Structure formats: C-alpha cells, structure tokens
Structure 1
C-alpha cells in the first residue's frame, strides 16, 4: 500500500481492496481524494463508511460522512445504521423517524432489527416489538429478509413464541429463514429439552418441504448437532453425520460441521468418535481445538487435553480464553496440580492470553481440591483483580471437605462481608451461612453452628428448601 495516493486512485482502492488491508490513514487519504475531486457518489461514500467502521469506533467520523450530503441519502443512512454501535444506531433511527426526512426501505428495518438482535435485553425487546408494528404498518413484511431478521431478533431476545409466530405467518421462506428459526430453538440452552426437540421437528418439516430454496446447508447441520448434544442423543447426531456426508460434503472438508461433530460426540460421551473426526479434519480453527480439549476435560482425560494444547502451535492456531478455561478445568478434575499451575503461568507468558476471573477461579479450585488450602488463600490475596464470591465459596467448600476449620472461618468472614444487593444475592448469602455452619459441623463444633444459625434468624436470612424433579414416560415433570 503506497503512503500517498495518486489522483482518482481512491476509486479503484474502494472497489478492489479488501477493507482489512487498508489502515485508518489510507482511508483518510481516500476520503480526502473523494472530496478534492468532487466525487459526490453516495455509493462511494457508503463504501467509505463501511471501511471507516472497520478501523475506527468513533461514530463522529461516520456522522460527518452522512451529513455531507444534502438532503440525506437513504443508502448512506442505511450504511450508518449497519456500521455504528447499537445505541448510536437507535438514536439515529429515532431522530430521523421523527423528522420524516428519509423514506425508509426494507434494508433500513433489516439493519435496525439486526442491531437490536446483537444487543438482547428487555428494553431492546420492547423496541423491536414497536419496530415490528411499524413494519406491518408500512408494508415491509412481504420482503422475506425483514421477517427473517425479525425471527433472528426475537430468538436472540429469548422470545421464541413470537419468533415462531412470525415464521408461521410467512407465505414464503428460504433456507436462511428456516435456519433462523432452527437456530432460535437450538440456542435456548436453559435446561428445557423441549426447544431442542422443536428444532429437530422443524428440520423434519424442512426436509418435507424440499426445493432448492430450502435445501439444508452447513448452518442447519451445525445447529442441529447442538440440539443433539443438548439432548444427549448420540443416535440423532450419527444420523446428522450421515446426512452431512451424503448431502453436503465430506465433514473433514468443512471446519464448521467438523467442529460441531467433535462437540456433539464429546458431549454424548463418544470420545473416540470425536477424536476420529478431529484427526481427519483438514482445517481446524480455535473452536475445533477448544471443543476437543473441552471434551477430554469433562471426561477426566486431563493429560490428553494438555497434549492437544501444545499441538495447537504446530497447526498455526493460538488458544483463546475459553481454551484455557477448559484445560484448567481438566487439570482440576484430573488432579494435575503442577501441570495446571504451569499452564496458568504459560497463559500470559507463552501464549499471550491475559487471565480472566474464571481462570483464577479454576486455579483456586485446583489447589483447594488437592488440599493446598494455604496456597489457595495466598493465591487469592495476590490476585491482580478483586476476587468474587464464587472464588471464596470454592475455597470455603474445600475447607469443609478437608476439615480445616481455621481457614474456613477466615474465608467465611470474607464471604459474609460482601453486601447483598438483590433477592438473588440474598439467597446466595444463605448458602454462605450454611456452608460456614457445615465447616463447623464437620469439626463437631455444634455450639458455633448454633451461633451461625441464630445470626441467620436475626438477619432474616432463610435457608432455601431443596427441590427434586422426576420426569415421567409422558414427559411430565413432577
């Protein structure tokens, strides 16, 4: 890339060069050339907006491009909504909706709904519902892209019933529409298997519809593999594996399907099948390696998981935070104390990954399970970030298991100092009192147990009652 740009070179750069190859300085030069040469083409400035968004998070630059045109141009307005952060997109949309200076089209609603889908929350859901009403009122629901994005929006905001209602009311659907609805069902991993079953049933309907417009693709299979792993039904996963090979491609040639299969087989307990798919894959990304290490971790094969990590470098893949969480968890379950501590030290020193709070929590759990309670306590006190209640609870649990009343009392004091700010946190506070009383009980100090229980009564902290559920043959939960 030259440091200075010849006249009119900016047009070829915008049309030919991928935006990842241009620096912010290059884009500013292109911007200057467009203005200097009076190239007031909305299409060119739309591309410029897209390029700026990839190198700078400053919305003021993007705003200046939009307001450069008088009157405002719809293409630039849509690009601005697509490229700016969620809150800024909403503000721009509301401002121009009230002014009614721009006649919106289906792309406007597609991009604003996409922004709402990327920032799920209750206020976002209410806003999206209002946009849905506006779409119906202005007649944009007939364009297949808009209701498809609506499905994606409702599903991301966990309103699966509204998503299904939009889906059922659509006269025409393409493969993206079906995938959006199936993904919505399969992504709701809240312990309710009904959603995963609904996703699989919808796939059956998709096959019955047939046609080139609704032909399942790799996205469909990846989502359904997630549903199979949620249900723990390896037979469904095997059928999907066969479908992918027969209809789509060789799984070793598709990194996404291959990764989905590794994850599914691992979670269903078929580690050898997972390793077989993993070894045959021609391309593996960080998600593939993480899925494999996680699978080995949850089945207690910590040493193999660590071996996989050090193979990643030779494959040109750098592990991420999730990879290390899985590996440290593997060390915890396998009792590999020295290996786990070395791995934690290597995170930042060798791999350049800064530890998060969950990584510190894994190390505390690792030391606590092995009975190294003093080391765990010192580790917490030396943490560069403030430990949360989960870390202290982990150490308190270890104190109870290993019968260390002195350390348990010290940790219990730290836990009880945390201020409860909500009813949910108050419920956790009861757990802390109970855990502390259990530490005393395990050492036979019943007089102190009585003191702790009396403190709970005085403060109005009630112990939560236990709950068990039994699933009948008719899938009713008792």
Structure 2
C-alpha cells in the first residue's frame, strides 16, 4: 500500500494541476523523494509543465524527460504532443539521430500535427521532412498517420500533396474524408478558392458512395456547408440541410451545424431561411451571432444587424473583433453614418475591443461613401496608429466618386509616397492601381496635362496597366446530392 504522502502527491498532480512553476517543482521534488518515477507519472508531470505555457515550464518539461531513468519513446511522444508546435518540431529534430529508428507511429503523428499547427514559414518544409521519414520507415499503411499528413498539407495550403496522399490510401475512414474535404474548404483566400470549394462538393458526393462505408459526420456537413456558401449554390446547400435533418439530427441541437447553415443561407441570399435556422437554435455562440450579423449586413439590413448587438448583450454573449467588422459593414451598406461612428466609440469604451486596421478602414469607407471626405481625412490623421495604404486607397476612391479633385490629389500623392517607402513589399500591380486612381482623379477634372504626367511617370518607373479580364459564373447544379 502506498504511503499517505505519496497518495497526497499523486492527488495533487492528477486532480489539482499546479498553477505555478514553483508549485510544480515542489510536487516534482516530492515525487523524487517518494521514488515515484514510473513513465505514467512522469508523463503527467510533463503534461502539467506544458500546460503552464511559459518558457521556464517548457524547459522543466524537457528536464523531466531528459533526466528520466530511460528517455523512452513514450515520454518523448508525450513531450512532443504537449509543448508548443515550434518546440515540438525542435525536439523531434534533436532526437532523430538518437531514437530515429525507434520512433513509433504516434511520434510521427504528433510531429506532423505540430507542423500543421505551426505558423512559421518553414512549417511546410519541416513537415515534408517528417513525412519523408514516415515513408522511409514504412508507416505508410497507418490510416492515422496518412490522415494526419492530409491535415498537415491542407493546413499549409498544399492541397495537391494532400490529395496525392488521399488518393494513394487503400482504406479511408470518416476522419480521412473530413480531413481532405476540410483541406479544400480552408483555401478560401487562395487562388482558385472557388475551384477548391467545387472539389470539396465533388469529394462529398464520392464519400456518400464510399466502398468501405465511411459515413458523413457533423464535421463533414459543416465543411460542405462552407463550400456551398463559398459558391453561393443554394440548391446544394438546401440538399445538405435536408441530409443533415435525415441522417444526423436537427441543426438546432448543434451550434456548429446551425452556424454553418446560417452562414450558407445568408451568403446564398436566402435571408429568411437563415433567420429561421437562427431562431430555432437552442445554443448560439459568438460565431453564430457574427454569422447572422454578416448575413443581415450583406443583404442590406443594417438596422436589424445593429439590433442583434443588443440581443447579444441580453444573452450575455460578448462580441469579438470579427463581429464588429460585420456590424461596420452593415452600417456601410445601409449608409448609417452616425450609428457607425457611435459603434466605433462603444467598441473600445464599452466592450474593451481594441480597433484593428480593418475597423479603421470600415469607418473611412463609411464616411467616404456618404461624401464626408474631410471627416474621413481627419479620422485617419487622428487614428493614433500608422495608417496602411488600404485606408488611403479607400479615401482616394471616394474622392474620385465624389469629384473632389483637391482632396484626391492630396491623398493620391500621399499614397504614392507611402508606397515608395514600402516598395520592398508592394507589388507592381498595387502601384499600378494607385497611379491609375490618381490619373482618374485628374481626368474627372479634365486636367489632361496632369493625366499625361502621371502616365509618363508610370512609363519611367516601368509600371504597366493590367490587362482587363472577365469571368462567367459556372453552374454547379450537377453537384446536387
């Protein structure tokens, strides 16, 4: 039977995780004193160190591992799984030469998972090296490892490699299909985002007839609804909704499914259906409210969107920065200037949210749309932070629309001066747009000599206008479920 001090020490470690590193060190000392050095206890100690999320606690987690009686793969896996992605990758790399051949399946899963979560530019290269070792040491038959590889490549926007891993798999489960569908749906901002969304819907159709019987889950449906929303295909989204009702459960019982439906119906222009789902939902989080606010905003219902902010307060749900971006957008679409300015003040003073650059941009856009150019200019000057080129571009565009040549010339020259300072990160396409915008301001005032001067300056700097292009929206009716 274990002694009372030993039991108390274990109880502290398992049931009352330490809240400071000094407390953790005391527990560690008690464990050593009482001879409690089993792998399971040391693993729990590493987890507690990592949970504190400080450089010192991470160093102590390393210390626990390296000074264990046998630095085995089990403890290494726990360390890689628990510490930050950057540290996980470094630990894996450091132990490759020592334990490389002895790594097991979970070592590679956790290492690839760390590369998927890492936000560094080198994450894709590092993950490629891990994947290479997976192939070298013969773990290709592991569904869990291959699925993690798909997730890794998708997180790093390498959809081609993710699909290659997916196609080479002999057996797939629901998690695998979800990982590949999510990889397509997460490429919204990338080139070909709409094509990736279409591929996600095609893949979903293939999943429905999977030979191994993999069935869609709630996570599958959330991703598919996102793809339908990107494409604006109401028929497909409605069919997914019906499939959810029949095969899973009502969206009113799942906050993520309900939020996905609100987003899909809103972006497909079916606002009444979005509101119907929203009102039926038993639980709503900040994402749900933000999706509904965004839906009202893009459909021109500015005042109704602002009313939702009051409803959020009544439900004790705190808005976030994305919620306010949608609220400002609602004000812009509806021309609610006073409401938008009041909202900007409340954002920080009442809700404690520090304005980001996109929030400043929304206010400038709001003032510019209504012709309040002097007020917009003064707002930028009084921001308290360095404005980015997007704000000046927004104001310049407003000057062009409202025919204010004096302000337009002033803003245009400031914008070009700012861009020249940032020339290392500014592309020729952006510079071309700025020069053309200034040229258009002069052209609207029939100041042709100034137009010619701007055009000549573009030639001297080697800035060429971009060729025009147009696109025809394809029909996705063949993607109906």
TM norm structure 2: 0.91
Match of 2:432 in 1: 430
SS at match of 1:209: coil
SS at match of 1:81: helix
SS at match of 1:100: helix
Match of 2:155 in 1: 156
Q: State whether residues 241 and 261 of structure 1, in contact with CA within 8 Å, keep that contact through their aligned partners in structure 2.
A: yes
- 1 CA distance for matches of 2:27 and 2:133? 38
Is the deviation greater in 7-16 or in 36-45?
7-16
- 1 CA distance for matches of 2:5 and 2:356? 47
SS at match of 1:468: coil
Deviations 1:243-286 (A, max 9, x none): 11111112101001001000100010011100111111011111
Match of 1:42 in 2: 39
Match of 1:274 in 2: 274
- 1 CA distance for matches of 2:226 and 2:475? 24
Q: State whether residues 86 and 118 of structure 2, in contact with CA within 8 Å, keep that contact through their aligned partners in structure 1.
A: no
Q: State whether residues 6 and 31 of structure 2, in contact with CA within 8 Å, keep that contact through their aligned partners in structure 1.
A: no
Deviations 1:109-136 (A, max 9, x none): 0011011112366633233222222112
C-alpha deviation, 1:368, in angstroms: 1.2
Q: Are 1:31 and 2:28 matched, yes or no?
A: yes
SS at match of 1:91: helix
- 1 CA distance for matches of 2:25 and 2:276? 50
Unmatched 5+ stretches in structure 1: none
Deviations 1:284-305 (A, max 9, x none): 1111011110111111111111
C-alpha deviation, 1:205, in angstroms: 2.4
Match of 1:360 in 2: 360
Match of 2:464 among 457, 462, 467: 462
Report 1:290-329 matches (<5 A): 290-329=290-329
- 1 CA distance for matches of 2:424 and 2:264? 37
Deviations 1:229-248 (A, max 9, x none): 12211111111111111111
TM norm structure 1: 0.91
Match of 1:421 in 2: 423
Aligned pair in 2 of structure 1 residues 465, 204: CA closer, same or farther (>3 Å)?
A: closer
- 2 CA distance for matches of 1:240 and 1:12? 48
C-alpha deviation, 1:355, in angstroms: 0.9
- 1 CA distance for matches of 2:22 and 2:309? 38
Match of 1:71 in 2: 70
SS at match of 1:8: helix
- How many residues in Structure 1 have an aligned counterpart in Structure 2? 468
- 1 CA distance for matches of 2:295 and 2:21? 41
Unmatched 5+ stretches in structure 2: none
Question: Could you say which structure has the greater relative contact order, defined with CA pairs below 8 angstroms and 6 or more residues apart?
Answer: 2
Match of 1:201 in 2: 202
- 1 CA distance for matches of 2:475 and 2:244? 32
Q: Are 1:229 and 2:210 matched, yes or no?
A: no
- 1 CA distance for matches of 2:75 and 2:399? 61
Deviations 1:348-390 (A, max 9, x none): 1111111111111111111111111111111111112210000
C-alpha deviation, 1:308, in angstroms: 0.7
SS at match of 1:371: coil
- 1 CA distance for matches of 2:475 and 2:313? 49
Is the deviation greater in 74-83 or in 375-384?
74-83
Q: State whether residues 193 and 231 of structure 1, in contact with CA within 8 Å, keep that contact through their aligned partners in structure 2.
A: yes
- 2 CA distance for matches of 1:7 and 1:433? 75
- 2 CA distance for matches of 1:68 and 1:360? 52
- 1 CA distance for matches of 2:422 and 2:60? 43
RMSD: 2.4
